[in-house]
Structure 1
Amino acid sequence: MTVSPSTELPSGARPSTVRVLALADSDSYLKWAACLLDALPPGWTARTAVVRSPITPSADQIRAALNGSMTAEAEVLPARRLRRVLAEYEPDVVLLACTGPVVETLTGIILGRGGPRPVLVSGLPGISVPASERAWLFRSAADLFIVHSHREVAEFTEIARGLGVRGTVGRARLPFLDPAPPKARRDRVVFATQAKVPVARGERRRVLLALAALAERRPDLRPVVKLRAWADEQQTHRELHHYELLWRELVAEGAARSGALTFDTGPMREHLSHAAGFVTVSSTAALEAIAAQVPLLVLSDFGVNAEMINLVFEGSGCLGTLADLEAADFRTPDQSWCAANYFHDPVDDDWTAHLSGLVAQARTGALPVPVRLPYPGGARARRRARMRLEAPAAMEVISAVRQARQRALKA
């Protein structure tokens, strides 16, 4: 939902309607924010914006991220305009749906304005097992930290207690687990890519070759590589070896048949509505597949551990291998695992109740003083993060110069 700034109120007055300003910096965080806003209490209003940075999503990515939500649009604005937006909109709540360094930088801008402050909300848009202390360090000033399972709430609450931060950890069912209606023809095998894992070029080529082998063995199935972004688009995390480019290499080498795989973007829920099977190395989209009752595989060939971001799938019954993929041997998850991990009863969700209480505190001036812990990496890293946000074009030039110097030294 997107609303225009309201009419002016008398000095010192607060509107009766609770206003939420949602700020995102990437497509995945924007999708998460838009879906969370759909669950706000009745009568609350929201405004959504993407803060310009080196990972700003394209117009197509923004449309895909908002697909299926009630948020109609998200303006893209530079960080230097944030103070003006805050002054115009006067939000009761600011949802910082951004990567950690951006959350920390925006927090500094918001708290540096002086006067009554809004409730600060942040969180993580997907699977967050095992819980990370680093995630809390960037978000230590948050009044409410949103995660998505009983296990995550317990782990992040324990970390908060150890760090001495005052924020509450709230639970929300992952907001994009409502599937699109299935189509009559379900003939796709959807591979959900992940920018961070696997890292090695050779491992990614193995995945593509397994999908190509599936295409040859099962002409009734159409493997679709569902990309988070095309090779020339930005995404939340940097992708060193893009699948689209690796596939072109394999075809040029004669290792795979051109046309065996289809590459596409767009909303995952639409792809799953056509899917007969789903596969990933590590992606929150696996949970979307479970919700859509699509048999799946979470590949274990490259390890099952925190580094691969797939540790949570131990005991799920969904782990499998590239050989299973070639044979189209997909799995149905264990129901007890589902109940403990992301598919809890919606009545267990408590984030909106926590948020309502915090808004009431804010309106009486009773919000606690936020705790801002030392920046991971120190003051120099904090300055660099702020420059990336406030002068992304300059940082891109600096990065390009550094890369050129590195190449020259290696030559």
Structure 2
Amino acid sequence: MTVPARVLAVADSDSYLKWTAGLLDHLPEDWSRRLAVVRSPITPSPEQIRSALNGTGSKDPAVVTARGLVRVITEHRPDVVLLGCTGPVVDTLSAMVLGRSRPVLVSGLPGISVPATERAWRFRSAADLFIVHSHHEVAEFTEIARRMGLPGRVGLARLPFLAPAEAAPVRDRVVFATQAKVPVERGQRESILLSLAALAERRPDLRVVVKLRALATEEQTHRERHSYQTLWDEMVAEGRVRAGLLTFDAGPMREHLAHAAGFVTVSSTAALEAIAASVPLLVLSDFGVGAEMINLVFADSGCLGTLADLERAEFRDPDPAWCAANYFHAPDADDWVGTLTDLVRTSRGGALPVPTRLVRRKGLLAEPKARLRLQLSPTMVRQLSGIRRAVRR
């Protein structure tokens, strides 16, 4: 039996906002919930916010500074603070939040987290509950916590956005989900675009869509060195490809998948959304399969394929046994809400452990600088970073 609780959830980027809003939808109905976006250099645009919240019960979250967030916590005194943010921001906000009150602190990761890393736990070392999304991840992160001597518990939650919209009457799209971090090299990204163009030439019955995480003027969770849209425009100008073959769109992934006949990525949590939507897929192996490509978890999935497979529209269905072990466990295996309920009871009894912070930034001004990044406007942060780089040169 749950106990009614007040939950304040905080996100800092588009991917974390999508994840955080989805988790809120799975809380008990009698729990109150608020959602806010903390201002930072990667604050999502209004359009990104609308896209991230598509299909969730959350609407119009307030965008606040870190100091404004502390004021909200002081005024509303939530039982639970869910920090759905990138690691450094979680660490900074943890110190600010726990310096004023002692709510149950929850954090986690918004997608595929194999292999588990100490770094992810280190930034979230003050968390009472660390949420991940497969039995595989629970085992690895629990072992890391034991090795690091952290009291925080690891909870299992099915990824909240693995509930696709109803399929469209006609499935006539191939959707390529980009990933900001991989592949790194310009030439590798151009080879993907060339194969997508070849598919579009060969299959005029299919609309080939490059699903962007952000437009050129928008920020995203991870910095992207070579924008696919910019590369494509340059390739068109050079005469290497024909204009109009590909469509670039940053709309909600669930809407694209509802129309998709096939899906392709190098590494993206959206591959799991495709599986949930019963869309055959390819996880490209041309650039390697491993931790550095963030696709190690797909090694035994039955979904690996090549650019040549993509050009022939030869997509795969995943292995059912792999699905059961990775992200598609039975719903009743989820234990994070029960664990959170226990922690709320413990908190009300005043028995939560003293929080741990493992990150120690170097220099007297390191902590103030980390907080300042969450106080200044993103534009000012970028300007100051540019000045600092110029001074160093």
TM-score, structure 1 normalization: 0.92
Post-superposition CA distance 1:163-215 (Å, at most 9, x none): 11100000000110001111111110000001111111111111111100000
Aligned residues: 390
Post-superposition CA distance 1:273-332 (Å, at most 9, x none): 000000000000000000000000000111101011000001100000111101101000
Partner of 1:332: 317
Matches within 5 A, 1:168-179: 168-179=153-164
Which one of the candidate residues 88, 91, 109 is aligned to 2:75? Answer: 88
Which one of the candidate residues 225, 249, 267 is aligned to 2:210? Answer: 225
Over the aligned positions, Cα root-mean-square deviation in angstroms equals 1.5
> Secondary structure of the residue that 2:48 maps to in structure 1?
helix
Q: What is the distance in 1 between the residues matched to 2:369 and 2:200?
A: 46
Post-superposition CA distance 1:73-118 (Å, at most 9, x none): 21111112122101221100000000000000000101111xx510
Partner of 1:370: 355
Partner of 2:123: 138
Give, as a single letter, the amino acid of the residue that structure 1 aligns with 2:18.
Answer: K
The reply to whether residue 188 of structure 1 matches residue 173 of structure 2 is yes
Counterpart contact for 2:166–2:258, Cα < 8 Å: yes
Which one of the candidate residues 365, 382, 385 is aligned to 1:399? Answer: 385
How far does residue 48 in structure 1 lie from its aligned partner after superposition?
A: 0.4
The reply to whether residue 282 of structure 1 matches residue 267 of structure 2 is yes
Counterpart contact for 2:104–2:347, Cα < 8 Å: yes
Mean Cα displacement is larger for which, 280-289 or 68-77?
A: 68-77
Partner of 2:93: 106
Partner of 2:236: 251
Alignment identity in percent? Answer: 69
Give, as a single letter, the amino acid of the residue that structure 2 aligns with 1:397.
Answer: Q
Give, as a single letter, the amino acid of the residue that structure 1 aligns with 2:99.
Answer: G
Which one of the candidate residues 114, 128, 140 is aligned to 1:155? Answer: 140
Post-superposition CA distance 1:326-373 (Å, at most 9, x none): 110100000000000000001110000000000011111111111111
Mean Cα displacement is larger for which, 392-401 or 236-245?
A: 392-401
Partner of 1:242: 227
1:387/1:198 CA distance change after superposition, 3 Å:
same
Q: What is the distance in 1 between the residues matched to 2:62 and 2:375?
A: 17
Post-superposition CA distance 1:8-59 (Å, at most 9, x none): xxxxxxxx84110000000100000000001101200110000000000000
Counterpart contact for 2:176–2:263, Cα < 8 Å: yes
How far does residue 405 in structure 1 lie from its aligned partner after superposition?
A: 6.2
Gapped regions of structure 2 (runs ≥ 5): none
1:380/1:299 CA distance change after superposition, 3 Å:
farther
How far does residue 397 in structure 1 lie from its aligned partner after superposition?
A: 1.3
Q: What is the distance in 1 between the residues matched to 2:153 and 2:381?
A: 35
How far does residue 384 in structure 1 lie from its aligned partner after superposition?
A: 3.8
Q: What is the distance in 2 between the residues matched to 1:121 and 1:378?
A: 28
Q: What is the distance in 2 between the residues matched to 1:382 and 1:337?
A: 43
